[in-house]
Amino acid sequence: MDDRKKRRKRISNILKVVISLGVLAVIVSKVDLSQTLEHLARMDWLPFLGAMALYLAGMLVRAYRWGVLVWALGVQVSWWRLVGLYFVGAFFSQILPTGVGGDAIRVYELAHDSQQTASALSSVLVDRFLGLFFLFAMALLALAVGYELVPPEVRILIAVVFAACLIGIVLLLQRTWIERWGRRLGVGRVLGRIKILRELYESLHLYGPVALFKASVASVVFNLMLILAYYLLGLAVGIDQSLWTYFLFVPIISALLLVPSVGGFGIREGGTILLFGQVGVDEAHALALAAAYDIGVLLTGLIGVIIYVVQSVQEARK
């Protein structure tokens, strides 16, 4: 059985690599790379540096959001440790064949520090969920003003994902509903047999309203920073679009990163070209925008690997 799992995992990883390389190959065949490189070479450095500053500062905000949830569960860990884990997670997200690989690393490291696996897993899941929920909530608000900027399919996608997240929040807060349905479906027997699932279920209901409120505010702040960073990168590479366009497209690009791939490469570029093409942005400019954002991703990964190496050396000395 172990050999089968390893084989399936190996095949799955190969497929994810193929997806990234396949999408990138299609992009290279259709986009004039010389024009993209020219846009990057002529990039306005002032908005680019502003975008990089916002991107890195956003990591601090995300670490605080995660910390609020972690501390609500009674886990003793410093904010700086969580900041370091976020950067380390960003590094592993780039080298592991999935956009959420860094989350697994954060769970592992925090569980190792605290010896509370369920709490670590719960906090990372809720942290990721809140980020996605508020990103799409802001997109839904932007639709009220700029709905004509996107095709009907995109509007439906934003509304459906937001509604699904909203249902998730209601279920998270209404424990009695889950338990009532769980008894009918026999979920209780599964929770009773598997300790980690039972502990995870319990921890999901330990977040108080104060912690969830603080984490929600942090989510809004981070998403605003992310959207503004994209907008500045657009200005840097010569894209003339309103801020509302980014309010609509950035959430969808972020959601596309859940598609299996290596660090989101290929998926991010393809999504950017597809979406911004809807508002008249040519492929070369759209690819330049995605490439400029990739610089920020690689920068956080570089910081993450430095932190990871330093921590590994310190642990080896101990």
State the pLDDT at residue 194.
44
User: First-to-last CA distance in the chain?
Assistant: 37
**Pairwise CA distance, residues 205 & 175, whole Å:** 7
In a domain, 187, yes or no: yes
In a domain, 35, yes or no: no
- Decide if pLDDT at 94 tops 90: no
In a domain, 279, yes or no: yes
- Decide if pLDDT at 179 tops 60: no
- 290 neighbors 272 (Cβ within 8 angstroms): yes
pTM of the model: 0.82
What is the tens place of the pLDDT at every residue in 264-273?
778 889 889 9
In a domain, 28, yes or no: no
Domain total of the chain: 1
State the pLDDT at residue 232.
97
Residue, of 39 and 314, whose pLDDT is higher:
39
In a domain, 12, yes or no: no
Average pLDDT score over residue span 26-47:
91
In a domain, 26, yes or no: no
- 125 CB-near residues (< 8 Å, 6+ apart): 204
Structural domain that includes position 108: 44-317
In a domain, 5, yes or no: no
- Mean pLDDT rounded to a whole number for the chain: 81
- 99 neighbors 257 (Cβ within 8 angstroms): yes
In a domain, 142, yes or no: yes
pLDDT tier at 3, thresholds 50, 70, 90: low
Average pLDDT score over residue span 98-115:
79
What is the tens place of the pLDDT at every residue in 218-261?
999 999 999 999 999 999 999 999 888 898 888 888 877 777 77
Residue, of 10 and 109, whose pLDDT is higher:
109
State the pLDDT at residue 129.
81
